[in-house]
Chains A and B, each alone.
Chain A
């Protein structure tokens, strides 16, 4: 039995929006609606879907940036060697818990404070948590810079972010994330703004670090090809719900949900001789179908740990 680093049960994030400037009536937007998944130690889960489907909202809720409105998030706590709900954490315990969870952002130009040196940026988590003395901290920064391939470290430490290229900045982001030795890192499209030739080196770096440091990733992307490269399992999200979740190769070779099929069929293939299958589905129809059949039913396993949402499974298999 695999040990899970994080278990998400029926996570919900609803937003209240007033419908007009003068009206007091509020409508509820279900940005994330009843999603459930778990990630074992050292494995990565890809969260794939269109923009606005709730991927980033999920990530922010897991990192405790925005409070969730319902459901349960359990995290493996090393001190008690068991799963612990993040709702139970308070004060010092919460601060300690934050060491274990980190996030890498999409835009390398916005995710580093432009007025800080690289050294200060990477030092920040150590300073916040008051780990080690000054020399030890500096030593740790130099070490992590080498780990992410920015060598020699003393060349990079006094520089400012704008002096580095996009790929180098993303390496700094990764270094900053990993200096706390977290067990779980949320990656919000960390390579989508990088050039093709640099993208793979960043992805390889992340994969190697996952292996060496036993880090689990929740990898958010809209590109299934990238998710395939990075993740053991993939969850497909549509309008705030996970509609299909399976092992990566299983999902790609045997997609069941119409949305998954549509998503796979729309990825361009770097091979002019390959003829893509055309699969079209009306998203509005799909949405109303899900709405009609109810989303409260649990997902079912169709074998090989391949789960799909049950709302319209009839007639599809």
Chain B
């Protein structure tokens, strides 16, 4: 028998199966939208190191954490009156107007009088050709920060999801397969984790330990992996366990471990993958919340960007400093949503009952 031919055929069949799944996924519009979003952010995450390496971006200016740019502007020094209206100003918010600076703000600068022209850095600077999304209050490029943030989001999301789903798949199948006390213990453990409010728990953990991205990924992964997904994976594994092909392996004399790894695990894997995609969403959202509350020891992330705009007092300034809040906020929303939509698309592939003919 021609072995190579055999292997070629096998490869071809596998490729065909992949093609078929891809066709099914493509049918789901939501899934495709999600995929485009995820690819867009992945592109952003990879673009930043490329720009630095090729030297298109100067590290001193564009580095998201230590770089800064000095955009100078010359302003007229004025004095804002105590009473409004005046000839020049209608109300309190009109002073200082565009191109002006209040003399009171310059009390540290020596020898500046009302009526002088004063040269100053504008920070945060609005979007311009050199800084597509402007700079923050320290003169750092927002666009570069968004790119750095998407790197963090991908690392954190994928790492914690892989870890969490790995844990819950193994525990879930073990619970289903062996039953009895192991099952009872694992189920009570899941109940306990489900009952614990996860955000306050994270607050406490971060109060005791300085959390870096890796740490947070492990913590989120373990909490996610011990929680409700164990129960869902277990119910799926229970369905597989009673299938005749498992009985058939048992009659032949297959050991429990062999049956577990070669029959049960591969058949719960699609569900686990689905879980993984959905839990990326959760991880990205949790990171933003924790960073926003200043509980993480991370240099830069989308949550930190919003956090900084808040501590610097720009968050309630409405649309005046929109580039400090909107890009980061939208990035969190879109990437988290994008992964969720990809999950919905995968659901159509793996759940034949939802499939339209």
Q: Residues of A at under 8 Å CB distance from B?
A: 60, 63-65, 94-95, 98-99, 101-103, 105-107, 110-117, 121, 124-125, 128-129, 138, 142, 153-155, 157-160, 163, 173, 176, 180
Q: How far is the CA of A234 from the CA of B247 in the complex (A)?
A: 26
Most buried by A among B1, B17, B266: B1
Q: Give 1 or 0 for each of B224-235: 1 = CB within 8 Å of chain A CB.
A: 000000000000
Q: Is B2 an interface residue (CB 8 A)?
A: yes
Pick the interface stretch among B96-104, B108-116, B249-257, B315-323. B249-257
Could you jot down 26 A-B contacts, CB within 8 Å?
Answer: A65-B251, A98-B252, A99-B252, A99-B253, A102-B252, A103-B247, A103-B251, A106-B244, A111-B243, A111-B245, A112-B245, A113-B263, A113-B266, A113-B267, A115-B267, A116-B266, A128-B249, A128-B253, A129-B252, A154-B5, A155-B9, A158-B6, A159-B13, A160-B13, A160-B17, A163-B13
Which chain B residues lie closer than 8 Å to A124 at the CB level? 249, 252, 254
Q: How far is the CA of A153 from the CA of B13 in the complex (A)?
A: 16
Most buried by A among B5, B7, B254: B254
Q: How far is the CA of A101 from the CA of B9 in the complex (A)?
A: 34
Which chain A residues lie closer than 8 Å to B5 at the CB level? 154
Task: Kindly identify which residue among B243, B244, B251 contacts A102, using a CB–CB cutoff of 8 Å.
Answer: B251
Q: Which 9 pairs of residues, A with B, have the shortest CB-CB distance?
A: A158-B10, A111-B244, A105-B244, A98-B253, A115-B266, A125-B252, A113-B245, A95-B253, A63-B251
Q: Nearest chain A CB to B247's CB is how many angstroms away?
A: 6
Closest B residue to A98 by CB, please name it.
B253
Closest A residue to B246 by CB, please name it.
A113
Q: Is B59 an interface residue (CB 8 A)?
A: no
Which chain B residues lie closer than 8 Å to A102 at the CB level? 251-252
Q: How far is the CA of A63 from the CA of B247 in the complex (A)?
A: 10
Which chain A residues lie closer than 8 Å to B243 at the CB level? 110-111
| Pair A154/B1 contact, Cβ less than 8 Å | yes
Q: Give 1 or 0 for each of B8-43: 1 = CB within 8 Å of chain A CB.
A: 011001000100000000000000000000000000
Q: Give 1 or 0 for each of B244-276: 1 = CB within 8 Å of chain A CB.
A: 110111111110001000010011000000000
| Pair A103/B245 contact, Cβ less than 8 Å | no
Q: How far is the CA of A163 from the CA of B17 in the complex (A)?
A: 10
Q: Nearest chain B CB to A124's CB is how many angstroms away?
A: 6
Closest A residue to B242 by CB, please name it.
A110
8 Å CB interface, B132-160 against A? none
Q: Nearest chain A CB to B128's CB is how many angstroms away?
A: 55
Which chain A residues lie closer than 8 Å to B17 at the CB level? 160
Q: Residues of B at under 8 Å CB distance from A?
A: 1-2, 5-7, 9-10, 13, 17, 243-245, 247-254, 258, 263, 266-267
Q: How far is the CA of A155 from the CA of B1 in the complex (A)?
A: 11
| Pair B251/A158 contact, Cβ less than 8 Å | no
Which chain A residues lie closer than 8 Å to B244 at the CB level? 105-107, 110-111
Q: How far is the CA of A281 from the CA of B5 in the complex (A)?
A: 62
Q: How far is the CA of A129 from the CA of B245 in the complex (A)?
A: 17
Which chain B residues lie closer than 8 Å to A142 at the CB level? 1
Q: How far is the CA of A180 from the CA of B266 in the complex (A)?
A: 25
Most buried by B among A113, A117, A128, A155: A113
Q: Nearest chain B CB to A43's CB is how many angstroms away?
A: 21
Task: Kindly identify which residue among B6, B245, B266 contacts A110, using a CB–CB cutoff of 8 Å.
Answer: B245
| Pair B254/A65 contact, Cβ less than 8 Å | no
Most buried by A among B7, B243, B251, B258: B251
Which chain A residues lie closer than 8 Å to B13 at the CB level? 158-160, 163
Q: Nearest chain A CB to B357's CB is how many angstroms away?
A: 16
Q: How far is the CA of A176 from the CA of B254 in the complex (A)?
A: 14
Known: A65-B250, A103-B247, A113-B245. 11 other contacts (CB 8 A): A95-B253, A103-B248, A105-B248, A106-B244, A117-B10, A138-B1, A154-B1, A154-B5, A154-B9, A159-B13, A180-B252
Which chain A residues lie closer than 8 Å to B254 at the CB level? 124, 128
Q: Nearest chain A CB to B54's CB is how many angstroms away?
A: 44
Most buried by A among B243, B244, B263: B244
| Pair B245/A158 contact, Cβ less than 8 Å | no
